Amino acid sequence: MNRKIALRATVGASAMALAIFSTAYVAEATTAEPKDTGALAKMSHSAAKAKLDNAGIGIRSSGGCSDRNNPTCTSLEQVNSASIDGAITLKGASGCALTVTGGTETGHADGQYSHWNGYKLDFAMSSCLTSYIKNTFTSIGGNKWQSGSGNIYFDESNHWDVTFHNCGGCFKGGKG
């Protein structure tokens, strides 16, 4: 009989501790700043640009601006963190100079995995980048190549349109 009482007391104390912890955690979660939610976390233009700048990746805008609602600008507002990390992976793995020429600004094609939704970046065409993509990734037809991680590289003749489904292995001195 004492064993049942002791077990009930232990279960009761555990439930009480869980309730107290849960209440404190919920209170903290509802009052704290939003946390990064991973690969699909949206970034501000300035945070994404700073990260690219630190990696030595340039940004070029035909309109000399970053307004997301202007199609002549190059905006990174609301870009997925995986897209920015994927660009950094691409630079590290390829050893090529990279310049972003298209981001989340209006004027690109619609769709789930679109520029507007933060999945795509355009890169200036270069012989280094073209050679790396065509010699490293698998041709899937229609001027498209797919990396082992599933990202899609589309040769649009005057730029590379890249769909980042993930960060491409997140280059950390390895193959990317």
Q: What is the pLDDT of residue 168?
A: 83
**What are the tens digits of pLDDT across the range 121-134?**
999 999 999 999 99
pLDDT at 10 over 50: no
**What are the tens digits of pLDDT across the range 38-64?**
667 999 999 999 999 999 999 999 999
Scanning the chain, the segments in alpha helix (DSSP H) are 2-31, 45-54, 81-94, 127-136
